Amino acid sequence: MKNIHKIYSFLFIVLMALPFSSCTDELNTNSSTDVSDKEVLTSVSGLNMVLLSAYQYILMGDSKEGAQGQAVYTGIPGLCLYYDLSGADILCHTNYGGSTCDSYQFSTRRTTAAENAVKIWRNMYFVINEVNIILNALPDASGSDAEKDIIEGQCKTLRGIAYFNLIFNYQQTYAIAKNKRGVILRTSPSDPVDKGFSTVEEIYTQIVSDLTDAKTLLSGFNRSEKWQVNADVTSGYLARVYQVMGNWQGALTEASAVYSRNSALMTKDQWYSGFHDIDIPEVLWAIVNTNITNNGENTWFCYWFNQDPSYGETMQGGPIYNFLQLLVDDKYVQLFDATDYRGAKCTKTYATGDPETNHVSNADEQGVMFWHRTRCAIDKINDKWAYNKFKFIGTGDVGQHQYINYPIMRASEMLLIKAEAEANLGQPTALATLNGLQTARNATLTTTTDKNQLLEAIYVERRKELLGEGVTGMYDLLRLQKPLVRYGASTTNPAGHFSWAFQSMDGYNGSDAQPTGQIPSNDYRFICQIPQLEFANNKAVNEQTEQNPFSGQ
């Protein structure tokens, strides 16, 4: 994404003069500038510049959401936070607060129409509007057919991804809601502002069409950077879409094709390297951060409570700025068997006596995934589990935390989609496929051939392998129609969830021997309401009859 910031500054001026057909008043801003759009829209070089702006939004989010407190709304990395924080495996402390805590706590600010529900809506429709402008101008633009195919393929992939995230967040899952009100389908810049909702099924039909077309258009595209989408990324997203739809043959076809071309799974050394090396072959798609383009502090790397003990226990400690917020639940740590290197842990806890003997040292924690912060003075932290998966070791430059690369799709996910599809199709190869990943991670192999038990083993393996990558937590709970169940901290389970995790959950009683709370499957507490601005600006939709409830099924 070299020089994207400079290009985006230019595009902000140019694009505001273009004829957006938008979904909120924030996307309806008209520019008073006299900049002509002809040079931008009449050549493939100009359209590529507009395409960079679409990438900026889907990968980095709206600059208005760039503040640290709005991390879960900053493009794809933000949604990776958003989905996984709304699950059972991650704990979030309140010492920093912000949107990460809102997601963890299921705060009403997260999903209600008058508050943060607008943020995902605005970002995704900005991407959709920009690629619609490009697609509309592309046939008449100067340039070769091959160049146009590559632009069209990228645009359709980005539009498919944007609609997939919209429909995922603003209505229940496909299996139970395909005939329900979806979102607004806009495929042309000339679509009227006053346009009604399409059904969930109609939105998914468009997503599949876009991604299928894009896969063919990008078949010969050799990208220069991993932030760009190519045919493998497009097929990977199509596999995800089919997975949510329950189209298991489609999911198997796409995931198998991607994995067959990218089957070199991470080694133990690569897994332990901190997940910021995107040149690892298994990484299919990634955020590339530089001193010109970055998400600032809005990635996993700044939120995990896992910097080395020698850095100190303050938010400013060490050469990388930390918010010291995220840890993992004890139930998650228990998922790993003793041989699985993804689950290696240091069990040392603070005891009286010589601090150098009884505190966890750098050497203790750098060779494991899970450990306790024995020196931490922040309330209720010492007994929790720190997690080293997303870890960046700074070298002294206090600004370098802004430039950490970030994987957002890996081949191991494709292998797990393949296993799940095979199991659902009753294919005997499912067990061997799952065992392939378990062997690579030195985990105990699953042996059951019972379909339901095998599927549950696959779901657990997804949590173990993919936590932090935006396809566990709420993502899996919604598509699988499973309830969210959290176990609170107690005398016998001090590493359980914080009490504030349950403020919007059902059934929590802190005095229970093992407090628990849950949100039922399919509950609208997982789902955003349609932003009020859409109802205010779009006369074809009705808030009284078409709005999502805040809770209930």
Residues 143 and 40 in one domain: yes
Percent of the chain past pLDDT 90, that is, above it, reads 73
Residue 289 has pLDDT above 90, yes or no: no
* Per-residue model confidence as pLDDT tens digits over 15-41: 433 333 334 333 333 322 233 456 688
Give the per-residue pLDDT at 398. Answer: 52
Give the per-residue pLDDT at 35. Answer: 32
Residues 219 and 329 in one domain: no
Percent of the chain past pLDDT 70, that is, above it, reads 86
Residues 100 and 12 in one domain: yes
The set of residues, in sequence order, having a beta carbon less than 8 Å from that of 377 and lying 6+ positions away, is 313
By mean pLDDT, which of 163-167, 245-249, 339-343, 490-494 is the weakest?
Answer: 490-494
By mean pLDDT, which of 42-56, 282-296, 390-404 is the weakest?
Answer: 390-404
CA distance 109 to 118: 11
Give the per-residue pLDDT at 69. Answer: 65
Instruction: Provide the domain limits for residue 330.
Output: 300-403
CA atoms within 13 A on the CB side of 205: 10
* Kind plus residue range of the DSSP H or E element containing 244: helix 231-245
200-217 vs 231-245: helix crossing angle, rounded to 10? 160
44-60 vs 145-170: helix crossing angle, rounded to 10? 20
* Per-residue model confidence as pLDDT tens digits over 379-432: 889 899 999 999 887 665 555 556 788 899 999 999 999 999 999 999 999 999
Give the per-residue pLDDT at 13. Answer: 35
Give the per-residue pLDDT at 313. Answer: 73
Give this prediction's pTM.
0.92
CA atoms within 13 A on the CB side of 187: 12
Residues 39 and 170 in one domain: yes
**Any idea what the CATH number is for the domain that residue 93 is in?**
1.25.40.390
Residue 373 has pLDDT above 80, yes or no: yes
User: Last residue of some domain: 403, 424, 451?
Assistant: 403
Other Cβ atoms within 10 Å of 224 Cβ, number: 7
Residue type, 220: G
State the average pLDDT for the chain.
88
* Residues 170/173/176/178 CA torsion (nearest 10 deg): 70
Give the per-residue pLDDT at 307. Answer: 87
Residues 75 and 211 in one domain: yes
Residue 314 has pLDDT above 80, yes or no: no
Contacts 24+ apart (CB under 8 A), 207-212: 207/160, 207/163, 207/164, 207/167, 207/241, 208/160, 208/238, 208/241, 208/242, 210/156, 210/157, 210/159, 210/160, 210/163, 211/156, 211/157, 211/160, 211/235, 211/237, 211/238, 211/241, 212/238
* Per-residue model confidence as pLDDT tens digits over 462-483: 999 999 999 999 999 999 999 9
User: Last residue of some domain: 374, 403, 432?
Assistant: 403
User: Last residue of some domain: 403, 435, 462?
Assistant: 403
The answer to the question of residue 117 being in a domain is yes
**Number of domain units in the chain:** 2
* Per-residue model confidence as pLDDT tens digits over 95-140: 888 999 999 999 999 999 988 999 999 999 999 999 999 999 999 9
The answer to the question of residue 519 being in a domain is no
Give the per-residue pLDDT at 376. Answer: 84
